[in-house]
């Protein structure tokens, strides 16, 4: 890749729209020499057709669950909740092959790009063959995800997951969880394999499925192996009230309370969901310097409950967003539902806005929070339209119905709260265009392959 220049009529830099922006891309695919008020595009620059936003990190994904999205929206018994959904979801987990995983992930990753994500954190707990035995290469399913990300052109943070038991009082996995098993040594080896793979735009961290799914001793053993490596560490926590009650019964403490007291999380840690948190727990996370990842479309789909967004924002806990089970693949929809849940719960509007802090725009405050939280969740040192960050960009389609005629100052507001049609025209990852005119060059091939896998699975 040679050094080249992009020029945009507007670009989102340092939390505001700036005009006539020239963005340099160096040979490593990083931004350099970003300059506003360059009213005439330099000779040889690629002139972008619309306003430019940074790409977003999707901070929580289970790629294989894309093959289950839309297939659990019926109730044929007296009740349906997260736990019954989970049992049905395991049917996909037990059947999917590496080739099918690759096809499903490639389709998903193209959808993510078109929805404005340019990096995904894969919370990856599907490790073994269908009968629970290891593959000849233990990282086979990890490579299926990495290959799919490379084909699509999406950045990948691989997070192999420690998963060893079925619950606080169930020291072994259930039979339908046999593909998930992993010791601290095994998880660390997957992390090291991915981190040292040399693949472009791939990095790695580690994850613990949840406190119910891993013992304190095993979590400590994994953390000892990770040591001081400055990499992301993710964990599901306090997603469901049953989990909170089970943790109280087993340990005498709530999940986040126990986590902060016993495991001393630091800036590397990301608490996924953290739906049911007390004020004291929110404060403990803030003091620890850890972040949280919220997944509004999945949490709504599963009936998890509503996080106390005002408390998390007030405590200045870094917040990322994720699409989790992939009932939505658009960050704008995640931010919309994040705010709408609060409006419905509190019977107020613009809950996330903070005019007293100079942030009157709900969309802008949430977008900037998710940008920085996503950077941390993915283990990136820099992110966004800033010198030294990877050159990822979204070019908006201003003729999209939700953006049509919108003044530039309100484009982000309209994208989040008034747009339900595709509004991303072009996507760049590391300076390379991967979506043009709203289409990915391989999307028809990936879609046909995905449809074939769905027929095989269902």
> Could you list the active site residues?
273, 324
Helix axes 184-195, 216-226, angle to 10 degrees: 30
- DSSP states of 35-48 as a string? ES---SPPTT-EE-
CB neighbours of 212 closer than 8 A, spacing ≥ 6?
A: 165, 167, 168, 243, 246, 247
Token pair listed for 177: 């969880």
Q: Where are the beta strands (DSSP E) in 110-250?
A: 117-124, 155-162, 202-204, 206-208, 233-237
CB 160 within 8 A of CB 194: yes
Q: Where are the beta strands (DSSP E) in 291-357?
A: 291-294, 319-321
Q: What share of the chain is helix, strand, coil (3-state, %, to 5)?
A: 40, 20, 40
* Burial class, 316, CB count within 10 angstroms (exposed 0-12 / middle 13-18 / buried 19+): exposed
CB neighbours of 154 closer than 8 A, spacing ≥ 6?
A: 109, 112, 113, 117, 118, 119, 120, 201, 429, 434
- Give the strand pairing for 233-237 and 269-273: parallel
CB 51 within 8 A of CB 415: no
Q: What angle do CA 46, 49, 55 make, to 5 degrees?
A: 85
- DSSP states of 396-423 as a string? E-TTSTTTTT--GGGHHHHHHHS--S--
Neighbours of 398 (CB within 10 A): 20
Q: What angle do CA 451, 114, 117 make, to 5 degrees?
A: 115
Closest alpha carbon to 323 in 71, 60, 63, 72: 60
Using CA atoms, how far residue 268 sits from 50, 55, 250, in Å, is 36, 21, 26
């Amino acid at each position: 890749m040679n050094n080249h220049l992009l020029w945009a009529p507007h670009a989102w830099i340092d939390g505001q729209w700036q005009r006539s922006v020239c963005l340099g891309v160096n040979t490593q695919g990083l931004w350099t020499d970003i300059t506003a008020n360059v009213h005439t595009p330099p000779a040889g620059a690629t002139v972008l057709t619309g306003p430019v936003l940074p790409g977003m990190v999707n901070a929580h994904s289970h790629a294989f669950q894309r093959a289950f999205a839309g297939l659990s929206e019926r109730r044929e018994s007296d009740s349906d909740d997260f736990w019954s959904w989970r049992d049905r979801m395991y049917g996909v987990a037990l059947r999917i092959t590496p080739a099918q995983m690759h096809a499903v992930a490639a389709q998903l990753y193209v959808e993510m790009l078109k929805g404005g994500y340019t990096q995904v954190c894969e919370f990856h707990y599907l490790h073994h063959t269908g009968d629970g035995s290891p593959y000849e290469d233990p990282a086979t399913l990890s490579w299926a995800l990495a290959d799919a990300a490379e084909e699509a052109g999406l950045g990948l943070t691989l997070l192999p997951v420690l998963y060893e038991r079925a619950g606080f009082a169930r020291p072994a996995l259930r039979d339908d969880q046999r593909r998930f098993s992993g010791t601290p040594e095994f998880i660390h080896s997957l992390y090291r394999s991915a981190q040292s793979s040399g693949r472009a735009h791939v990095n790695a961290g580690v994850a613990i499925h949840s406190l119910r799914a891993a013992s304190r001793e095993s979590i400590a053993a994994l953390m000892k192996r990770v040591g001081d490596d400055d990499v992301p560490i993710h964990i599901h926590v306090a997603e469901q009230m049953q989990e909170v009650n089970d943790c109280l019964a087993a340990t005498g403490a709530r999940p986040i309370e126990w986590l902060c007291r016993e495991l001393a999380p630091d800036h590397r840690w990301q608490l996924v969901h953290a739906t049911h948190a007390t004020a004291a727990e929110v404060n403990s996370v803030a003091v620890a310097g850890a972040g949280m990842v919220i997944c509004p479309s999945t949490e709504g789909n599963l009936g998890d409950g509503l996080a106390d967004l005002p408390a998390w924002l007030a405590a200045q806990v870094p917040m990322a967003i994720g699409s989790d089970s992939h009932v939505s693949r658009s960050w704008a929809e995640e931010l919309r539902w994040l705010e709408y849940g609060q409006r419905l719960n509190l019977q107020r509007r613009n809950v996330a806005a903070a005019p007293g802090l100079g942030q009157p725009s709900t969309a802008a405050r949430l977008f900037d929070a998710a940008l920085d939280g996503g950077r941390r969740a993915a283990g990136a040192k820099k992110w966004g339209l800033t010198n030294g960050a990877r050159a990822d960009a979204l070019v908006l389609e201003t003729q999209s119905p939700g953006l049509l005629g919108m003044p530039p100052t309100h484009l982000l507001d309209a994208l989040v709260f008034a747009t339900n049609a595709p509004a991303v025209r072009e996507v760049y990852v590391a300076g390379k265009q991967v979506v043009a005119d709203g289409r990915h060059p391989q999307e028809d091939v990936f879609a046909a392959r995905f449809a074939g896998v769905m027929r095989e699975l269902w």
